[in-house]
């Protein structure tokens, strides 16, 4: 079955998978969604015998139907290789009655590597297929992890350039150092005086500026996106849910077709949307548990049916989830509106104009597969400390937000028996200071890299390569700008205007 991609805001816009990946964002600020969600139609016994790469092909080939078998297999082989520090690619670790799906074994030690390791290959293949002559300029807003993962993925990839905007005062010290030390002649990193939402809105504005796009085209460039608004990010993320389910079956932890829960620490709603797509492909998922930090706009949305971003933006110890405009929620809204572009577009217009919208009762009923809750700052620290004290296992702050919500879910619903996967989205080494302070406040006086070594010692985990690399690395990027200067900074990089 051929799957095409249509805009969430305009029925007339419908393209192939490779075109959707190249374009990133649909017209009118819409996002591309598949015209149908393909069925998985492979039984779990077969899946249980597959490697990560084979599972990736089984899932992705059903969505990216205009890629040839050879093209897709080449992309997968080059993406999921020794950049990952384990052959399993995503190990599943059992601790305290849950299964932690470690999505952080790639080059930059956050789950963004799962998709951004393959996106550059998908993008360059898509450019070849569509006979694109321009260089592709990847414009990315990051709350901390996408930036580095995209930089690492696209650095020195011929025919591409990558520009990353990050909130200068909204990322962890390790995250910032990872980005500003990035090598590669085609990489640009810019701090903004603003938060992630402002970075993301600024990038979307640049995308929708037709005149600017024409100027860029004359100079031989065209924009695309490495944010999770790109369907080329979402599809690779479906893979690990399927793979994890098959691993649980292979271990004898679940019976054939036994439903499981999935808990996802959520920001831009990309990761959990991938789990939603996995469920709609036929993977037996009982509850999709959406975990927020104190920026709990999604928790409120699931509780009331009202999305309201008019609130204070809180800087937390889980900065990659400090987001009030969860872009990918638009794809869910479109689906629960009955794949209705007009209804969705009207709600998104309200979000832009008033900062809020309410969904109908009928739409709310279609959210029954979700459970939402949030974990406060103190609880997050408490979860890290108690899990460490009880089991010796150390998780990062984002994963701890998810584990905290899972505790609440169990208490509130009494559902103790459904096997549950918690998406573990970052290595604790990426948020060392917050993690170590949670374990013992006395650590606060130490330097970042002293804490790295101490974390390695008490957690009995080797310091990841991604951290060793930046210990003594030189800062190569120091551009900082105001939010309203983002476009002129981009122009400056290309000598335009």
Ligand X SMILES: *Cc1c(COP(=O)(O)O)cnc(C)c1O
Backbone phi, then psi, for 349, in 5-degree steps? Answer: -65, -40
The edge-to-edge listing of strands for the beta sheet with 420-424 is 92-95, 98-102, 420-424, 260-265, 285-292, 370-374
Question: Which is closer to ligand X, CB of 249 or CB of 406?
Answer: 406
Residue whose CB is less far from ligand X, 293 or 341: 293
Q: What gap in Å lies between CA 496 and CA 286, rounded to an integer?
A: 52
Name the residue with tokens 């604790």. Answer: 428
> Residue 263 Cβ, how far from ligand X at the closest point, in Å?
12
Least Å distance, CB 424 to ligand X, is 9
β-strands 285-292, 260-265: how paired? Answer: parallel
Calculate the CA dihedral of residues 259, 62, 26, 494 and round it to 10 degrees.
Answer: 110
Q: Which is nearer to ligand X, 29 or 319 (CB)?
A: 319
Minimum CB distance to ligand X, residue 111 (Å): 6
Kind and range of the H or E element at 115? helix 112-116
Instruction: Output helix, strand, coil percentages for the chain, rounded to the nearest 5.
Output: 50, 15, 35
Rounded CA separation 315/318 (Å): 8
CB of 14 to ligand X, least distance (A): 25
CB of 405 to ligand X, least distance (A): 13
- The values of phi and psi at residue 248, to 5°, are -60, -40
Comparing CB distances to ligand X, the nearer of 15 and 383 is: 383
CA distance 412 to 417: 14
How buried is 300 (Cβ within 10 angstroms: 0-12 exposed, 13-18 middle, 19+ buried)?
A: middle
CB of 320 to ligand X, least distance (A): 3
In the complex with ligand X, the residue whose CB is nearer, 132 or 162, is 162
Cα angle 410, 424, 162; round to 5: 140
Cβ nearer to ligand X, comparing 111 with 299: 111
112 is catalytic: yes
Q: Which is nearer to ligand X, 145 or 176 (CB)?
A: 145
Listed residue (233, 331, 329, 239) closest to 281, CA to CA: 239
**Shortest Cβ 295–ligand X spacing (Å):** 11
Binding site for ligand X (CB under 6 A): 110-112, 145, 228, 265-271, 320-321, 398, 425-426
Q: To which H or E segment does residue 135 belong?
A: strand 135-141
Q: Which two tokens stand for residue 218?
A: 């004359």
Q: How far is the CB of 431 from ligand X (least distance, A)?
A: 8
Contact 236, 114 (CB under 8 A): yes
Of 135, 164, 160, the residue nearest 149 (C-alpha):
164
Based on CB atoms, which residue is closest to ligand X, 232 or 265? 265
Choosing from 6, 112, 204, 430, the catalytic residue is 112
Contact 293, 320 (CB under 8 A): no
Q: Which residues are catalytic?
A: 112
């Amino acid at each position: 079955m051929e799957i095409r991609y249509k805009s969430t805001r305009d029925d007339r816009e419908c393209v192939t998978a490779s075109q959707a990946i190249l374009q990133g964002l649909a017209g009118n600020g819409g996002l591309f969604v598949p015209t149908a969600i393909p069925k998985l139609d492979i039984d779990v016994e077969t899946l249980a015998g597959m490697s990560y790469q084979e599972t990736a092909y089984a899932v992705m080939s059903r969505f990216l139907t205009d890629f040839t078998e050879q093209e897709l297999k080449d992309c997968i082989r080059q993406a999921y290789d020794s950049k990952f520090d384990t052959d399993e690619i995503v190990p599943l670790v059992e601790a305290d009655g849950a299964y932690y799906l470690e999505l952080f074994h790639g080059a930059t030690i956050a789950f963004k590597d799962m998709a951004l390791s393959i996106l550059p290959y998908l993008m360059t293949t898509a450019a070849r297929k569509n006979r694109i002559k321009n260089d592709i300029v990847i414009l990315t807003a990051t709350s901390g992890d996408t930036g580095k993962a995209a930089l690492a993925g696209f650095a020195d990839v011929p025919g591409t350039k990558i520009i990353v905007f990050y909130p200068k005062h909204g990322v962890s010290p390790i995250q910032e150092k990872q980005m500003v030390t990035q090598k590669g002649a085609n990489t640009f990193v810019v701090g903004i005086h603003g938060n992630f939402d402002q970075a993301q809105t600024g990038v979307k504005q640049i995308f929708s500026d037709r005149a600017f796009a024409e100027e860029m085209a004359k100079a031989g460039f065209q924009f695309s996106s490495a944010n999770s608004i790109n369907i080329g990010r979402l599809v690779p993320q479906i893979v690990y849910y399927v793979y994890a389910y098959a691993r649980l079956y292979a271990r004898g932890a679940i019976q054939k077709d036994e439903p499981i829960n999935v808990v996802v620490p959520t920001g831009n709603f990309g990761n959990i949307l991938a789990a939603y797509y996995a469920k709609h492909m036929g993977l037996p998922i009982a509850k999709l548990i959406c975990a927020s930090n104190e920026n709990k706009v999604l928790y409120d949305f699931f509780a009331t049916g009202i999305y309201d971003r008019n609130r204070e933006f809180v800087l937390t110890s889980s900065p990659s989830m400090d987001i009030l405009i969860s872009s990918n929620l638009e794809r869910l809204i479109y689906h629960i509106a009955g794949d209705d572009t007009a209804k969705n577009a009207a709600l998104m217009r309200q979000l832009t104009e008033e900062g809020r919208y309410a969904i109908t009762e009928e739409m709310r009923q279609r959210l029954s597969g979700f459970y939402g809750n949030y974990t406060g700052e103190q609880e997050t620290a408490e979860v890290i400390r108690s899990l460490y004290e009880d089991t010796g296992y150390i998780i990062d702050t984002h994963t701890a937000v998810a584990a905290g919500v899972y505790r609440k879910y169990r208490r509130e619903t009494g559902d103790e028996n459904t096997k549950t996967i918690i998406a573990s989205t970052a290595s604790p080494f990426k948020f060392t200071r917050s993690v170590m302070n949670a374990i013992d406040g006395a650590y606060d006086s130490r330097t970042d890299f002293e804490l790295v070594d101490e974390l390695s010692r008490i957690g009995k985990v080797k310091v990841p390569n991604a951290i060793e690399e930046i210990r003594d690395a030189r800062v190569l990027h120091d551009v900082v700008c105001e939010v309203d200067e983002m476009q002129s900074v981009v122009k400056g990089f290309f000598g335009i205007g």
